[in-house]
Amino acid sequence: MAMCIVVIAKENYPLYIRSTPTEYTLKFYYMVHTSLDVVDEISAMGKALVYQRELYLGLFYPTEDYKVYGYMTSSKVKFVMVVDSSNTALIFQKLHNSYTDVMCNPFYNPGDRIQSRAFDNTVTLMMIQVC
């Protein structure tokens, strides 16, 4: 079972990347990078649609059965997840809550890479749940 979670800042650079198993890492980076274009497309035409903040990006690579899910917060921080199961709404909620906790940490400068152990633990828990 493979899975990857990436937190992307609003300037489109990664704040946190975690994937398992490790031999797929580069492939996941590539997928996530290409999915950023889709995110931009959807948010550009978002003026007319009243979308909730969750976006479903759908099947990316028809040869492999990974699905790429995206979620954007009101501060334009994006969470992208590559996974092959589908209870993503809850996972994104938890990710969002963890990310908000990281933001509220006074020792964290917005824009830095995320190095919080609590966030790591949350992500690990979610990976265990899925895999």
Partner 1 sequence: MADTVLFEFLHTEMVKELWAPHLEPGRVGWKMSLSVLEGLGFRVGQALAERLPQETLAFREELDVLKFLCRDLWVAVFRKQMDGLRTNHQGTYVLQDHSFPLLVPMGSGPQYLEEAPKFLAFTCGLLCGALSTLGFQSQVTASVATLPACKFQVVIQKS
**Is 83:66 a contact under the CB 8 Å cutoff?**
yes
Tell me if 25 contacts partner 1 by CB under 8 A: no
CB contact burial 86-99 (16+ within 10 A = b; e otherwise): eebeebbeebeebb
> What span, in angstroms and rounded, lies between the C-alpha atoms of 52 and 63?
30
Interface residue with partner 1 among 22, 47, 65, 117 (CB under 8 A) is 47
Interface residue with partner 1 among 100, 115, 121, 124 (CB under 8 A) is 100
Residues of this chain, 53-82, that bind partner 1 according to CB under 8 A: 53, 72-76
User: With respect to partner 1, which residue has the nearer C-beta, 53 or 113?
Assistant: 53
Kindly state the smallest distance separating residue 117's Cβ from partner 1, in Å: 19
Question: Which two structure tokens, joined as six digits, stand for 90?
Answer: 């809850």
